[in-house]
Homo-oligomer: A and B are copies of this chain.
Amino acid sequence: METRGEGTPGLSEKLRRGDVFAEQCPSRDILNHLTSRWGVLALMALLDGTRRFSELRRKVGGVSEKMLAQTLKRLEKDGFVQRTDYGVVPPRVEYALTPMGREAARHVAALADWIERNLPRIMGARPGAEDCAGRAGG
């Protein structure tokens, strides 16, 4: 993200580049969806490949079915997630990242990775406060 010069828009500006700092720009909504509490984790959970709803639920510690369903629906609407309903009972539904979703998820995952690797430093190197041995899923 470079400085946005205030000069005359060049040819590349013709592509209507977004501006997340501008409240009314659609990129703001996209940013909010991708960085939403459960959106971040759902995207990352799908990086490993297609998953069913209940798998995602178990993978993402702390998410409710309601919030997961809501989040996936929104990501699907945005075009980042593809939902496949097999139309059977009990229900069988699978979720997968679209190519665009995969690109977004990689960026999100890079941040999460950085946090996880730097956690001791962030927490001020207090060994007792970082008990993440109990993995949520995976």
Contacts and interface: CB of A to CB of B under 8 A. Distances in A.
A59 B20 CA distance: 11
Copies in the complex: 2
Contacts of A22: 61, 132, 134-136
Interface residues of A, number: 68
A24 B134 contact: yes
Contact of A40 (B17, B35, B61, B104): B35
Contacts of A114: 103-104, 107
Given A3-B48, A6-B138, A30-B122, A115 B23 contact: no
The dominant DSSP class at the A interface is helix
Contacts of A107: 107, 110-111, 114
Contact of A21 (B35, B45, B123, B124): B45
Interface string A38-61: 001100110110000000000111
B18 A132 contact: yes
A116 interface: yes
Contacts of A1: 44, 47, 109-110, 112-113, 116
Nearest to A21: B136
Interface of A: 1, 3-4, 6, 15-28, 30-32, 34-37, 40-41, 44-45, 47-48, 59-62, 78-79, 100, 103-104, 107-124, 127, 129-132, 134-138
